[in-house]
A and B are shown apart, each in its own frame.
Chain A
């Protein structure tokens, strides 16, 4: 469009090691300014475009925290960049994925948040999303609860509650809905960040796109979303997905951030079972490959590392395998009907469920559920076949009728 441009400022990963070589930024900001802004944001992660809402031209940006520090440092270029994303007279929202107190503490370590005085057109909202070891502990507790073979209902429910896993799901979905709401309902631009901008930030921006953009609910579109918002955006898969839930050694960087995202997609999927082109198996497959894969796609922590390791040359891409027709067939949702609308999921506790497909996968007998899925596929398949046959017959009949008329004419 004429408001945005591609920038190659990071082509040798020197400005921001965890960004891809090409990013989208406002047209009015030149590469020199971007370099300056990068110095003002943690890890050099300057604000870039994450999603452009065609319907009203609003944008979602993501970045890392600004390095304001205790004495309230400013960066004119950063303010200019952020403001360049606003339409004249419009306001924007900064969604900070930390609580206010944590954001304030971060100043002591050189981090911080956008002061309202210096960003008068922006309103800041703090929406807390849990991270790192808390998530990992929650994950470990949940898996333990799911493997508890006792027949006691109370114990199961209290363990489920104590794991807090579903609380995290609810918080994350709420934050994503909020971001989507700001864009679609308020007609405002949104900037999302936490501290590094590589975890909760990506969860929020990618989920908001699932809600807003029908394309992200197709198989190809979802793949593109994962590539764009997770792989290229520098989610450190290597660090986060090293051990999974059964490790006893507490890995500092281990956290089920990507799994949490997938589960949130599943929760939305459950509420809109006809609006997604892919099925639950597709999400489970991505979860598995993120942790252990014969493909190179999820290796490394960012594009920079992947380029250094020469992964594109040395390994196969997961997508090339998934997109073969015979594999794709396994991941199709038979109920899919393109739905061009924004889908607003419910985040009430009554509407959220444990993702049995992942957590009870090896415990629950899946035969009956698989049979049900098969049945669904058959019903739809049979319907489609009939439709085709009826159409063919109709055409044939029409042809013969015209033939007949022609025959009678001469």
Chain B
């Protein structure tokens, strides 16, 4: 469709004209501008809602809201075209079969072997070995070999050694959706563990001997402690209401040596509405400060984030400080339980704060234990009441922790944002379906690519420049603050206003430091090359120097010694930094070309950096006053808009 106008949400006067294309997988908008022809691509699976608004004199407006919080406003001149686009998009955005999803047609030009390698990047068996299981207390159970006991669990489940198949099966019959207690995290240092399950079918008085034995077995697997915590992550009222339906929670009288604890995290419906409310606040046109703060408070979003974090902190504390094992459940044990277990693991184990470890964590607590990705993120057309930002909340928890512990994470904000994007994008097969069983049936690994391999390949983009493996913040458990006055939970504009670049800091410290680090690495390489050349020259000269006067000789050598000394000092002084660099030694043969290359890079890298930041503000400058300037960045801030209004009116 031609002559479509793409509106800037923040200032209605700036719009760009272009052509709209619909393909099998994307909506593409190409600007008409002669030089740049900026393109905007949106995956159909990212589309969350499409709204056709009342036709105006200029055309028919179409509002597309995306799951990655992008909002696109188009005006299409002809009402009939608009209607066609609307109908097509509704159909395209709601696929009914998995085969329609982008990952089945997405081909990053990798051969079969590379694809298989990609899927092997994250290996859960290896991960449990890393934790230290199987061992004297824990073993792999094959009861769920062909998904016979629980169809939303993985085939390989880790359970206490003393839990026989009879106990497991008995326990599973007493739990919602047969999700029996299984190991999520094991703490090598003190044998304490985090296990997860669904709620017991206790009703008002029902008991199950095997389930009680199962909990005993978990307790015994930690000989250092004589009780376990059972954490129900629901609000007490919700759990009690469940009893009427024959479900409920553990009665401390029936289970020996348990301490029962409620931690009120609201259910998926409350969370969905909360996000909705917060996004409405984000969409406000030039809101006042109190509109914004009031809206933020009213949405309750940060309160929910804090509740999840508090639960994670409670469990991490029980495991690390008290040495007590914890069993976590909610209703079905696949939403709040996944959130809480993964936050606790992240706090406990620095490995999960590395890039690879974080992939493993998501694979372990979310993918393998049957978090219902398809239902929660609406990959296929389904019940809108099943949709809820469960993993989004976990990702935000991680971000809030990154704000508090800037050196503790190997990855940066961009890594989180891209993972969130791909949870919805369906470009990779990782997050398809609702369980391992479904993924196996669909042969996901044979037919699609793994996101982890893709992220790993580009890992240089996702590094946190402040991270050092030997820094004190990267060791041991994290102890975050709880009260808002000690640790501010902030609104994450990098995520929820991700596409409104004008709202973000105009200069990125992370990018700047990453560039500096890259330059540092080049310098190190060049240093090595120079050193070598110097040594060569020195050798050849010392040959020549035999005939030269003694004095000159000495002075030269003196000069060399000092520089050699200073060189020798360098690595010691900053050895910490050095270690994190993969030291590529330049090939010996073409020293000269290597040198020239690095020099060129050096020269260009620095001005580039400043040029970029200049450009940023430069664009700001231009867009500030020219209504038709065609600045394509939505960089004008709302405040100025209102100023201009005053300007015109006054």
Contacts and interface: CB of A to CB of B under 8 A. Distances in A.
Interface of A: 123-127, 145-154, 156-158, 160-161, 164, 166-167, 169-170, 173-174, 177-178, 181, 185-186, 270-275, 335, 337, 339, 341-354, 356, 360, 363-365, 368-369, 371-372, 375-376, 378-380, 382-383, 385-387, 389-390, 392-394, 396-397, 400-401, 403-404, 407
Given A161-B293, A164-B290, A400-B541, A351 B485 contact: no
Contacts of A127: 646
24 contacts: A148-B484, A151-B310, A153-B484, A167-B288, A174-B643, A178-B643, A181-B625, A272-B617, A337-B609, A341-B617, A341-B618, A344-B620, A345-B506, A348-B286, A348-B287, A348-B502, A351-B503, A352-B289, A375-B466, A383-B520, A386-B524, A396-B559, A397-B537, A400-B534
A329 B538 CA distance: 39
A81 to B, nearest CB: 23
Interface stretch (B18-26, B67-75, B399-407): B399-407
A350 B485 contact: no
Given A158-B297, A375-B407, A393 B527 contact: yes
A20 to B, nearest CB: 32
A349 B405 contact: no
A369 B481 CA distance: 14
How would you classify the secondary structure of chain A's contact residues: helix, strand, loop or mixed? helix
Contact of A392 (B306, B404, B541, B563): B563
Contacts of B577: 378-379, 382
Contacts of B544: 404, 407
Contacts of A186: 625
B465 interface: yes
Contacts of A375: 406-407, 466, 468, 471
A164 B288 CA distance: 11
A364 B487 contact: yes
A372 B502 contact: no
B483 A351 contact: no
Contacts of A181: 624-625, 640, 643
Interface in B389-435: 404-408
Nearest to A347: B639
A100 to B, nearest CB: 10
B527 A390 contact: yes
Interface stretch (B150-158, B180-188, B507-515): B507-515
B491 interface: yes
Given A177-B643, A396-B534, 4 more contacts: A173-B639, A347-B640, A348-B286, A403-B541
Contacts of B486: 360, 363-365
Interface string B552-577: 00000001000100110010001001
B310 to A, nearest CB: 8
6 A-B pairs with the lowest CB-CB distances in the bound complex, closest first: A347-B639, A349-B292, A372-B406, A156-B484, A157-B297, A346-B637
A100 B165 CA distance: 81
B519 interface: yes
A337 B613 contact: yes
A341 B527 contact: no
Contacts of A394: 530
Contacts of A351: 493, 503-505, 637
Contacts of B306: 153
A156 B489 CA distance: 10
A404 B303 CA distance: 73
Contacts, number: 249
Contacts of B517: 379, 383
Interface string B216-260: 000000000000000000000000000000000000000000000
Contacts of B502: 346, 348
Interface in B265-316: 282, 286-294, 296-297, 300, 302-303, 306, 310
Contacts of B540: 404
A385 B577 CA distance: 13
Nearest to B489: A153
A342 B643 contact: no
B526 interface: yes
A209 to B, nearest CB: 16
A273 B520 contact: no
Interface in B601-619: 609-610, 613-614, 617-618
B578 to A, nearest CB: 9
B585 interface: no
B406 A272 contact: no
A353 B292 CA distance: 12
A379 B643 CA distance: 41
Nearest to A394: B530
A125 B639 contact: no
B596 to A, nearest CB: 12
Contact of B294 (A161, A271, A345, A356): A161
Contacts of A157: 293, 296-297, 302
B493 A274 contact: no
